[in-house]
């Protein structure tokens, strides 16, 4: 090879190297925000009774998916599903007590794949269900969890207790304090549940700390020269429903709007469709306790406005750091939540209010500002979507479907069905949604069919209506197909 040829070869190699470096530098960043137990009581989901300006800001710049569904309406199974891109029957995570690393060793999570692909990965708050199942340094360069500061009402009582018994962090005193703490006020009941204003500022709450930590990473360029994948785990409105006082003042209980529940519904709905979680909230099945329901709703809405404000701080930091236009933002929840509808409270049910979640995505340069999709999508679709957008090679076993075509064109239809399951004892209840119908099959053979176009609140179970017999048959077949797909890559 002569000198000229060597020079040309060197120039070619240098050019290829520079092109590769430029391509690598152009990889988009990702900000993944997941709320905990947030239902569709947000403005972007069409709920008119609450203010969520941060959700509105993202929706105005990106795409809102009006029909997004979780795959299991409980924190642990839902997060295991969307963080690994697999349906619950494939993850085998069907409760909050199980760890995918033990039941399905070697399964690669979304943040791990991004880290392995050259991204700086950082997380705050609740992304994986808890610290026991969090993959730690395998997935994250940095991972932090915070706690609320002590409420002012608690401080003098703790000091008095410690003067008599010793530090609340040690030995017998710790056990006695843990017994005493829930008796102080409704705010200290924890997951019993507790609720109410805390007397703390935004920055003294764990979600305030989460948002400020993300802002700190952004403004101080914690990622260095790497593209980043930052996950912000927003822990409200999960119980206890605690928030700074000013957010409670936004929602006077007497002004809250809701439809009283009716026992007529339960005359034609299966027993397995319900849970007894209402007992933990202090309600009696079939009895509408208006004042207590208003208190809980006020607290839940206060939590939503509080977290919306914290999310707004994160968006401010994206702008200030210069990353608003090179960062994909995903804002969603792990599942929905019932607030007295059908006399039910909480999750672990297959009703629309429990399974449908807010989902807003902005992809700079690709999503049309203010666009909306009515197509069916699932949380299990997020992993393949982000992988495609970022040029990250996804694990071959992923079961979700990339939403990239829909993000580029809101008119493209979504999935044929959305699939959600929940346990009842040792067996599984299964639900599918189509564009019009919601069908559920329970382990005891009972079924539900709701026309979501004419009956969006699911008041009338049509499964035994003679004119819908063919619809029921068709939905049964679609459910069989969905179940088969959900287990297709189970090990």
DSSP state letters, 113-126: HHHHTT-EEEEEE-
Return the H-helix or E-strand segment holding 144.
Answer: strand 142-144
Residues of the chain with pLDDT under 50: 4, 6-12, 14-23
Q: CA separation (Å) from 336 to 30, 39, 90?
A: 24, 4, 22
| Per-domain boundaries in the chain | 27-149+200-415, 154-193
Reported as half-sphere exposure (CB side, CA atoms, 13 A), residue 156 has a value of 2
Single pTM value for the model: 0.94
Question: Which CATH fold topology does 27-149+200-415 show?
Answer: Alkaline Phosphatase, subunit A (3.40.720)
Predicted pLDDT at 22: 37
Surface-to-core class of residue 56, CB atoms within 10 Å of its CB (0-12 exposed, 13-18 middle, 19+ buried): middle
Please give the Cα distance from 301 to 308 (Å, whole number).
10
- DSSP letters for 362-394: E-TTTSPTTEEEEEEEEGGGHHHHHHHHHTPPP
Predicted pLDDT at 39: 98
Yes or no: say if 364 and 67 are a contact pair by the CB < 8 Å rule.
no
Please give the Cα distance from 322 to 223 (Å, whole number).
14
Beta pairing, strands 359-362 & 371-378? unpaired
Question: pLDDT digit string (tens) for 309-366?
Answer: 999 999 999 999 999 999 999 999 999 999 999 999 999 999 999 999 999 999 999 9
Bond prior to 193 in cis (omega within 30° of 0): yes
Predicted pLDDT at 489: 66
Q: Look-up: residue for tokens 């409980």?
A: 74
User: Which of 347, 338, 297 has the alpha carbon at shortest distance from 75?
Assistant: 347
Buried b (16+ CB within 10 A) or exposed e, 96-105: eebbbeeebe
Helix ranges, 321-364 (H): 352-355
Find the largest Cα–Cα distance for the chain. Answer: 92
């Amino acid at each position: 090879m002569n000198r000229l040829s060597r020079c040309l070869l060197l120039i070619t190699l240098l050019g290829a190297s520079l092109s590769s470096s430029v391509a690598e530098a152009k990889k988009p960043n990702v900000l993944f925000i997941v709320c905990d137990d947030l239902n569709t009581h947000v403005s972007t989901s069409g709920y008119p009774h609450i203010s969520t300006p941060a959700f509105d800001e993202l929706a105005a710049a990106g795409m809102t998916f009006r029909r997004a569904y979780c795959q299991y309406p409980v924190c642990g199974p839902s997060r295991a599903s969307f963080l690994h891109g697999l349906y619950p029957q494939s993850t085998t995570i069907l409760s909050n007590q199980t760890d995918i690393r033990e039941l399905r060793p070697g399964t690669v999570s979304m943040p791990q794949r991004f880290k392995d692909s050259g991204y700086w990965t950082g997380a705050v708050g609740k992304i994986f269900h808890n610290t026991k199942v969090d993959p730690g340094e395998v997935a994250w360069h940095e991972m932090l969890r915070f706690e609320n500061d002590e409420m002012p009402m608690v401080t003098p009582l703790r000091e008095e207790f410690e003067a008599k018994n010793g530090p609340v962090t040690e030995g017998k005193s710790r056990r006695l304090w843990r017994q005493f703490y829930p008796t102080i006020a409704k705010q200290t009941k924890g997951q019993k549940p507790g609720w109410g204003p805390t007397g703390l500022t935004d920055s003294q709450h764990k979600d305030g700390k989460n948002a400020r930590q993300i802002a700190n990473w952004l403004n101080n360029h914690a990622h260095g020269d790497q593209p980043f994948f930052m996950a912000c785990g927003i822990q409200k409105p999960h119980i206890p429903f605690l928030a700074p006082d000013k957010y409670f003042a936004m929602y006077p209980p007497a002004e809250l709007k809701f439809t009283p529940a009716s026992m007529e519904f339960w005359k034609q709905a299966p027993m397995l469709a319900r849970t007894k979680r209402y007992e933990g909230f202090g309600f009696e099945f079939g009895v509408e306790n208006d004042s207590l329901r208003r208190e809980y709703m006020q607290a839940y809405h206060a939590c939503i406005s509080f977290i919306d404000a914290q999310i707004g701080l994160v968006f401010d930091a994206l702008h200030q750091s210069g990353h608003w236009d090179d960062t994909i933002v995903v804002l969603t929840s792990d599942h929905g939540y019932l607030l007295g509808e059908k006399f039910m409270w909480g999750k672990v049910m297959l009703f629309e209010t429990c399974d449908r979640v807010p989902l807003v995505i902005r992809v700079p340069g690709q999503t049309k500002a203010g666009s909306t999709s009515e197509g069916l999508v699932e949380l299990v679709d997020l992993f393949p979507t982000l992988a495609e957008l970022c040029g990250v090679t996804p694990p071959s076993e992923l079961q979700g479907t990339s939403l990239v075509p829909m993000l580029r064109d809101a008119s493209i239809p979504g999935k044929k069905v959305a699939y959600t399951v929940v346990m009842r004892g040792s067996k599984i209840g299964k639900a599918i949604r189509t564009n019009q119908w919601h069908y559920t099959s329970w382990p005891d053979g009972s079924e539900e069919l709701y026309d979501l176009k004419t009956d969006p609140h699911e008041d009338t179970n049509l499964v035994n209506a003679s004119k819908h017999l063919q619809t029921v048959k068709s939905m049964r077949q679609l459910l069989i197909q969905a179940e088969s797909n959900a287990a297709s890559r189970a090990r």
